[in-house]
Amino acid sequence: MGWITVLPPERVDLDSCVTCGLCLPVCPTYRLTGDETASPRGRLAAIDAVDQGIAPVDERFGEIIDFCLQCRACETACPSLVPFGRIIEGATAEVRAQTPSVEGRLRRFGVTTALRTIPLLRSGAIALGLLQRLGLASRGLRTIPLPERSARGGSWGPGEGPVATLFIGCVADAWFSDIHQATIEVLVAAGYRVEAPSSQTCCGALAAHDGFIDGAEKMAEQNRAALRDAEVVVVDVAGCGAHLKDDPEFGHKVLDVTQVVAEAIDDGRLPVLEGNGELVAVQDPCHLEHGQGIIEQPRTVLWAAGYDVVDADRGGLCCGAAGTYLVDHPDTSSELGRRKATAVANTGATLVASANAGCEMQLRRFLDDGYVVRHPVEIYASSLAGEGHMSDD
Ligand code: SF4
Ligand code: SF4
């Protein structure tokens, strides 16, 4: 047994790195610094040394691990299929366990308790919505509807027909309810009955990425009880979907909403709508592209919505949002955000499609006021309803 004990890596996974370096060009932190310890290969070497008891879990190890965005671009590039996401989650958990701090305890509360506290999230959403109307809220958040509209516990569509269980999450339900509303409208139009069991909770991705594995596991248990009887679990936030797909009990039933909608378009249950040549730029969230291997489906959805689709930054680096990364490493996060916004601006499109709420917030921070950022399914729902061009309110 190795020295990493909270979520230990498999020795075979660590040994499968052949140090070829093919992951280096796709790694944002390596590209920005040129530092081997900020590369996937360097991080694996550091984890290997700790796991073999050659090096300690100390402050330097914590820095090496925490500087990783967990974007998993290295996983996609790696010819040896090193499961980097799982390995880095284990290393992060070890850092949290062996270097406890007051800040760590606060973070644990934030990502394991606050995100599951529905009344707190709802109050926060209402307060934020009021601040936005007074012009006091910062950039990065879409306008929160008032009164706040939760999908929690709801049921929509025909009594008969296939049931799609909507994963509503935590922040997404409180602050991105427009995305859920669009998902519900499009799924019902495709013939689904949509249900959103109220007993589900936060997906636990932020807790797991931040190394609080026990908190993430508690959330997973609650979600298993809520979702185990579902036929299909539909997720409209890529970060949540990538995490839920790894669940050993119900992960095989989880689909991103763009997968479900693209399939319904392909088999004729949803129409291909007429367009007028307006451009939309597609941003590929890491947790959709690298975490779920989904690239074509958002493009199908946008094409069927009547738009000319352009790639914002195909094969590019992470946008720098990455959960709590923008708080921990604001300079690196901002540099990556600026690069992504420049790539979007270079497309000439002012409508931007992103299938992940965190990426959307990051894009909004760095794009000028003239841009509109929406989930691909919101754009399709708007075309389906005959509402024409999307605005930002
Ligand atoms: S691409 Fe894979 S095998 Fe090659 S150095 Fe990176 S992690 Fe190791
Ligand atoms: S997950 Fe992203 S930031 Fe971390 S090592 Fe891999 S490519 Fe680099």
Please give the helix or strand (H or E) that residue 31 lies within, else none.
Answer: helix 28-33
Return d(Cα 178, Cα 192) in angstroms, integer: 19
283 and 370 fall within a common domain:
yes
Q: What is the distance in A from the centroid of ligand 1 to the CA of 77?
A: 8
Alpha-carbon torsion angle 169, 172, 178, 179, nearest 10: -70
**CB of residue 319 inside a 6 A radius of ligand 2:** no
Residues with Cβ within 8 Å of residue 151, at least 6 apart in sequence: 166, 168, 173, 177, 180, 181, 184, 196
- The answer to whether residue 105 is domain-embedded is no
Residue 55 burial (10 A CB sphere; 0-12, 13-18, 19+) = middle
**CB of residue 287 inside a 6 A radius of ligand 2:** no
150 and 281 fall within a common domain:
no
Question: What range defines the domain where residue 233 resides?
Answer: 116-262
Counts for the chain of helices (H) and strands (E), in that order: 20, 9
18 and 95 fall within a common domain:
yes
Neighbour count for residue 337 (Cβ, 10 Å)? 25
Identify which of 250, 156, 164 has the alpha carbon closest to the alpha carbon of residue 203: 250
157 and 197 fall within a common domain:
yes
| pLDDT computed for residue 391 by the predictor | 60
Q: What is the distance in A from the centroid of ligand 1 to the CA of 20?
A: 5
214 and 181 fall within a common domain:
yes
Identify which of 218, 222, 220, 215 has the alpha carbon closest to the alpha carbon of residue 112: 215
Question: Hey, whose CA ends up nearest to atom 1 of ligand 1?
Answer: 78
**CB of residue 329 inside a 6 A radius of ligand 2:** no
| pLDDT computed for residue 141 by the predictor | 72
CA angle 84, 69, 91 (to 5 degrees): 50
- The answer to whether residue 4 is domain-embedded is no
What pLDDT, in 10s, does the model give residues 330-384? Answer: 999 999 999 999 999 999 999 999 999 999 999 999 998 899 999 999 999 999 9
Which amino acid is located at 108 in the chain?
Answer: R
Question: Hey, whose CA ends up nearest to atom 4 of ligand 1?
Answer: 20
309 and 360 fall within a common domain:
yes
**CB of residue 23 inside a 6 A radius of ligand 1:** yes
225 and 296 fall within a common domain:
no
| pLDDT computed for residue 235 by the predictor | 98
| pLDDT computed for residue 238 by the predictor | 96
| pLDDT computed for residue 392 by the predictor | 61
138 and 243 fall within a common domain:
yes
CATH number (domain holding residue 23)? 1.10.1060.10
Residue 75 alpha carbon, nearest atom of ligand 2: 6
301 and 356 fall within a common domain:
yes
Return d(Cα 91, Cα 58) in angstroms, integer: 12
296 and 253 fall within a common domain:
no
Domain boundary, last residue among 262, 281, 296: 262
**CB of residue 196 inside a 6 A radius of ligand 1:** no
- The answer to whether residue 84 is domain-embedded is yes
Please state the domain count of the chain: 3
- The answer to whether residue 107 is domain-embedded is no
Residues with Cβ within 8 Å of residue 288, at least 6 apart in sequence: 238, 241, 242, 256, 258, 294, 295, 298, 355, 356
pTM of the model: 0.91
- The answer to whether residue 389 is domain-embedded is no
121 and 250 fall within a common domain:
yes
Low-confidence ranges of the chain (pLDDT < 50): none
Question: Hey, whose CA ends up nearest to atom 5 of ligand 2?
Answer: 40
CATH number (domain holding residue 344)? 3.40.50
